[in-house]
């Protein structure tokens, strides 16, 4: 089964050496690293994006209008197992978000492990846990 996703096509005019004519060169957005936009001449190497993300990327690439006279979203069919970027950070247009905060249970487990690391016996740790539960 196939589904739909998007790639971003970027077109710039280049001078062809053979006859000194301007021709359009097509390339496809891959990612951005700092101020550098990475592109590929092959559509299959372009970043596969959700439609919403593709629209956001086109807006963020407005500073590239001096280089590329056309920047547009193309829809394409993709296989079910093809990964699709849905967040700006996945294509280098936003900082990577911090990892999710650990849940209370994970924090409790780490605290218990820290107690063992400090030399407390299992009985001392259990005694403190029981006191904390009973005093609530």
Which H or E run contains 36? Answer: strand 36-40
Q: Out of 31-45, 72-86, 97-111, 120-134, pick the least confident.
A: 97-111
| Chain segment 17-28, per-residue pLDDT in tens | 889 999 999 999
| Chain segment 28-37, per-residue pLDDT in tens | 999 999 889 9
- Examine the pLDDT at 63 and tell me if it is beyond 90: no
Whether residue 72 contacts residue 37, with contact meaning beta carbons closer than 8 Å, is answered with no
Whether residue 60 contacts residue 53, with contact meaning beta carbons closer than 8 Å, is answered with no
pLDDT of residue 90: 96
Q: Could you tell me the pLDDT band of residue 108, with boundaries at 50, 70 and 90? A: confident
pLDDT of residue 119: 94
């Amino acid at each position: 089964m196939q589904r739909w996703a998007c790639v971003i096509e970027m077109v710039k005019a280049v001078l062809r050496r053979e006859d000194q004519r301007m021709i359009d060169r097509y390339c496809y957005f891959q990612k951005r690293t700092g101020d550098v936009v990475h592109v590929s001449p092959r559509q299959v190497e372009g970043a596969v994006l959700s439609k919403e993300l593709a629209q956001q990327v086109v807006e963020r690439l407005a500073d590239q209008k001096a280089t590329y006279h056309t920047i547009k979203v193309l829809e394409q069919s993709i296989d079910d197992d093809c990964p699709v970027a849905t967040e700006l950070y996945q294509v280098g247009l936003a900082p990577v978000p911090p990892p999710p905060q650990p849940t209370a249970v994970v924090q409790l487990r780490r605290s218990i492990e820290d107690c063992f690391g400090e030399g407390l016996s299992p009985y001392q740790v259990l005694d403190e846990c029981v006191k904390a539960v009973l005093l609530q």
